[in-house]
Amino acid sequence: MSNGHVEPVHVIGGGLAGSEAAWQLATRGVAVTLHEMRPVRATAAHKSDALAELVCSNSLRSDDAEHNAVGLLHEEMRRLGSLIMRAADANQVPAGGALAVDREGFAAAVTEALSAHPLVEIRREEVAVLPLPQLDSVIVATGPLTSPALAEAIAGLTGEEALAFFDAIAPIVHRDSIDMSVAWPQSRYDKAGPGGSGADYINCPMTREQYYAFVDALLAGQKVAFHEWEATTPYFDGCLPIEVMAERGRETLRHGPMKPFGLTNPHAPGTKPYAVVQLRQDNRLGSLLNMVGFQTKLRHGEQTRIFRTIPGLERAEFARLGGLHRNTFINAPKLLDPTLQLRAEPRLRFAGQITGCEGYVESAAIGLLAGRFAAAVRHGEHLLAPPPTTAHGALLAHITGGHIPAEDGGMPSLRSYQPMNVNFGLFPPLSGALKTADGQRLRGTEKTLAKKRALTRRALEDLDYWIASGLHAAAAE
């Protein structure tokens, strides 16, 4: 980039991510053109023409920065000068430990701040083509309801199979909450596969009675209905909800994702399980496992209740619960570099839910980083990614490479990358055991809380260090 370059950075989409990205650019002295298609063109969920409209709940979830990963993300965003957090704090409504907002006041505050900024131009228009060859820096932040024309253009750029229009989220469990005196590690028929060890799955055995009771619970459990506009989007391509499979017959699941073949339970080698639930490593750290084939429309409370009846998962802690929604997201770990640039076309960055993060706060946080990365390039600098010990860094690392692709018949499964909330399972583990002041090892709830406090303390210290020293790491080539 030559000095004195005045070309604005173009941000497509004025939602949670795009608004935050535009703010971060403008407050770093970089001109921005923000393209938002509403009200010229509507989405199926937005109701207004305001920027950063919250399409559903008015909650930004827990504000506890000591014990909760999303609360930590709030605090980090505040320290990074986030417009989304400033608008949320100024429009807070009482909600216990959560940060809930007056949605109209919140969106109006974001819209006014960006409209008033001299470096921000807001254009109300749909961007329907890519890669916009005349532009040298573009952030695509068009969200889960990206307009069909632009989605088609993105698919043209990334390859059809790298863009999903529906998510199929299976629950994710913290590895250390599984009872390994009941469950055991083993791949079916001990197959090592590429990069595997032959013991890549955690298996939870079920007797015939337990299996039938489980199927009954799935059938009776309360489900979330599809929105009308979701119901018309086809998703039945190998990702049926588990309860829909159960409806097809009482034996269907044990011939599908719960089949018991090729597995021997070392805790009871003489007894063949009637069905087996398998969990597979989901992140490089190995701290998170996904329940294979368990994508579901069961209500969250029902998922926790029913899945904790699975032997070995009685005390399971869920990093993410399952779901199926209309969504638009790219296979980011494959396509993006560590600063959210499309490897094949580095002028383009992606931000927000389209990268496969999930949630208002996560989308805004990834928008914040995209804005800062793009601003640094405009200033001829190279911004290092935040440390993976911070909430921003942990989420970014997951999106840009931390997820482990699953294999389907020896081929990397394109469906295995699914949207992710921020959670402590994404953070590198702490070194050393946690102890009381008098040197005793902590146990139970006390240990869980102390671990969270240690993780959040480490995160904020490392974030402050990154802010102080990492921002202008090196002049760009």
Ligand X SMILES: Cc1cc2nc3c(=O)[nH]c(=O)nc-3n(C[C@H](O)[C@H](O)[C@H](O)COP(=O)(O)OP(=O)(O)OC[C@H]3O[C@@H](n4cnc5c(N)ncnc54)[C@H](O)[C@@H]3O)c2cc1C
State the residue number with the nearest CB to ligand X: 15
Q: Do 91 and 54 touch, CB atoms closer than 8 A?
A: no
Considering only residues 392 to 451 of the shown chain, the ones binding ligand X according to CB under 6 A are: none
Nearest Cα to Cα of residue 106 among 91, 86, 85: 91
**Residue 17 interacts with ligand X (CB under 6 A)?**
yes
Residue 349 CB, nearest approach to ligand X (Å):
13
Residue 359 CB, nearest approach to ligand X (Å):
4
* Stretch in the footprint of ligand X (CB under 6 A) among 146-154, 172-180, 386-394, 445-453: 146-154
54 or 170, CB closer to ligand X? 54
Q: Do 219 and 243 touch, CB atoms closer than 8 A?
A: yes
**Residue 68 interacts with ligand X (CB under 6 A)?**
no
**Residue 340 interacts with ligand X (CB under 6 A)?**
no
Give the C-alpha separation, 133 to 394, whole Å: 32
Give the C-alpha separation, 142 to 83, whole Å: 18
Residue 45 CB, nearest approach to ligand X (Å):
4
Q: Do 47 and 24 touch, CB atoms closer than 8 A?
A: no
* Stretch in the footprint of ligand X (CB under 6 A) among 10-18, 186-194, 310-318, 341-349: 10-18
Give the C-alpha separation, 470 to 385, whole Å: 8
Q: Figure out which of the listed residues 80, 107, 150, 377 binds ligand X, where binding follows CB under 6 A.
A: 150
Q: Do 216 and 243 touch, CB atoms closer than 8 A?
A: no
26 or 218, CB closer to ligand X? 26
Q: Figure out which of the listed residues 30, 83, 109, 141 binds ligand X, where binding follows CB under 6 A.
A: 141
Residue 214 CB, nearest approach to ligand X (Å):
29
Q: Figure out which of the listed residues 111, 295, 339, 353 binds ligand X, where binding follows CB under 6 A.
A: 353
**Residue 143 interacts with ligand X (CB under 6 A)?**
yes
Give the C-alpha separation, 331 to 161, whole Å: 9
Nearest Cα to Cα of residue 390 among 427, 359, 364, 354: 427
Alpha-carbon torsion (395, 397, 401, 404), positive or negative: negative
52 or 383, CB closer to ligand X? 52
Q: Do 426 and 420 touch, CB atoms closer than 8 A?
A: yes
265 or 421, CB closer to ligand X? 421
Residue 231 CB, nearest approach to ligand X (Å):
13
Q: Figure out which of the listed residues 9, 10, 18, 390 binds ligand X, where binding follows CB under 6 A.
A: 18
The DSSP string of 229-245 is HHHTS---SS---HHHH
**Residue 245 interacts with ligand X (CB under 6 A)?**
no
Compute how many other C-beta atoms are within 10 angstroms of the C-beta atom of residue 81: 15
* Stretch in the footprint of ligand X (CB under 6 A) among 7-15, 342-350, 401-409, 459-467: 7-15
> ∠17-20-24 over CA atoms, to 5°?
135
Write the binding mask 38 to 57 for ligand X: x where contact by CB under 6 A, - elsewhere.
Answer: x----x-xx--------xxx
Nearest Cα to Cα of residue 235 among 356, 415, 405: 415
**Residue 62 interacts with ligand X (CB under 6 A)?**
no
Q: What angle, rounded to 10 degrees, do the helices at 208-220 and 300-307 form?
A: 170
Cis-peptide into 338, omega within 30 deg: no
Interface positions with ligand X (CB under 6 A): 12-18, 35-38, 43, 45-46, 55-57, 126-128, 141-147, 150, 352-354, 359-360, 363
